[in-house]
Amino acid sequence: MAKIAAKAKVATAKAPEPVEVKKTVADFRFNHEAGISGVTYHTFKDKDKKISIPDTIAGVDGAKRYMGACFSNLSYQIDHQYKTHNRIHYQPKFDVLDKKEVVEWIDFCVAQGILPEYIEPKSVLKGMVLNLSGPRSLTYVHLCLIRFVSEEPTICRAVMHLVKEEKVNVFAALVLTARTLTCGANHHFLEAGSGWGQPKGTLDGYKVPLRNVIGLRNFFADAKEYDNEQSNFAAKAAIDRAIAQVKDVPADLTMKWSHFTRPSIIKAMNAQNSDQLKAAVAQYKRGVAAYKKKLATEKAAKQPLHEV
């Protein structure tokens, strides 16, 4: 089984396995506000191994500017036009989130291990620099996470709410919000459940595939394992390969967001080998079966008696 360990280990719960988790999700229908889809970025060459942010990108010798709808031309530029360029400078525009929220999102992503440690969160306000020498699929994910402050502000707010307030795993929160809140489906690195400007708008009823969540965690832990020479600056194919290699979780095993706070699912997210993952999934299934049996018993007990 592929490695599951990532930077941010899921907190270990000591509480006994709950029969059912019921939370009040009064404000889960966030105000959907589509942001700015266009991007402006520069690529350039930096001989220094340390990632540094220039005082002004316009003053960097040989920097090339690009404006467009997305990062779709980045692969061609690096492979054919500017082969020596190893950095990208990107300053996202934002009009829904305020500056504090933008910095909070970047800081959150770094703390969760889904953005590089070398990133200084406040740099998002004047322009961020990313290394282009790593796995391309992972670089694209990093660019997407930063671009969310422009194009998917609702996702930024919802993911932070789920992780900070509801104690849901960050990878589950990313999968859930991709399926329910995405405004720009073609610009997301995960399978999105809605089209352009048409978020579904409900988090409470949607069930998240556990296999997809663990696959995404594996991808972040070791993107090189799922990247390949044909990878461009897109990530869906690489993440799909990571998901496909999660053999110990049935593809049809889905659960509500609140179930990701259960001890058995926390164990599954922290599993370091196949045996640990199988045991955690089995524990979760036993808990669900026991809950359904209890409901059936209670329902039967409430049935009125009929004369024969």
- What are the structural domain ranges in the chain? 39-290
Half-sphere exposure of 253 (CA within 13 A, CB side): 21
Q: Is the pLDDT of residue 10 over 60?
A: no
**Model confidence band, residue 51 (pLDDT cutoffs 50, 70, 90):** confident
Q: Average pLDDT for residues 47-53, to the nearest whole number?
A: 84
**Model confidence band, residue 229 (pLDDT cutoffs 50, 70, 90):** low
- pLDDT of the residue at 27: 44
Q: Is the pLDDT of residue 205 over 80?
A: no
- Tell me the pLDDT of the chain averaged across its residues: 81
Q: Average pLDDT for residues 228-253, to the nearest whole number?
A: 84
Q: Where are the alpha helices (DSSP H) in 222-261?
A: 236-244
Sheet holding 64-68, edge to edge: 64-68, 39-44, 87-90, 128-131
Cβ-in-10-Å burial (0-12, 13-18, 19+) of 14 comes to exposed
| 35 φψ region: left (φ > 0), alpha (ψ -120 to 50), beta (else) | beta
Q: Is the pLDDT of residue 93 over 70?
A: yes
Report the share of the chain in percent with pLDDT over 90.
35
Q: Average pLDDT for residues 205-225, to the nearest whole number?
A: 90
- Record the tokens describing residue 11, joined without a space: 């907190």
Q: Is the pLDDT of residue 29 over 50?
A: no
More confident residue, 284 or 14: 284
Residue whose structure tokens are 């080998």: 273
More confident residue, 233 or 262: 262
CB 169 within 8 A of CB 112: no
Q: Average pLDDT for residues 90-100, to the nearest whole number?
A: 90
Q: Give the span between the Cα atoms of 169 and 214, in whole angstroms.
A: 10
Report the share of the chain in percent with pLDDT over 70.
79
Select the highest-mean-pLDDT range: 2-6, 93-97, 185-189, 230-234: 93-97
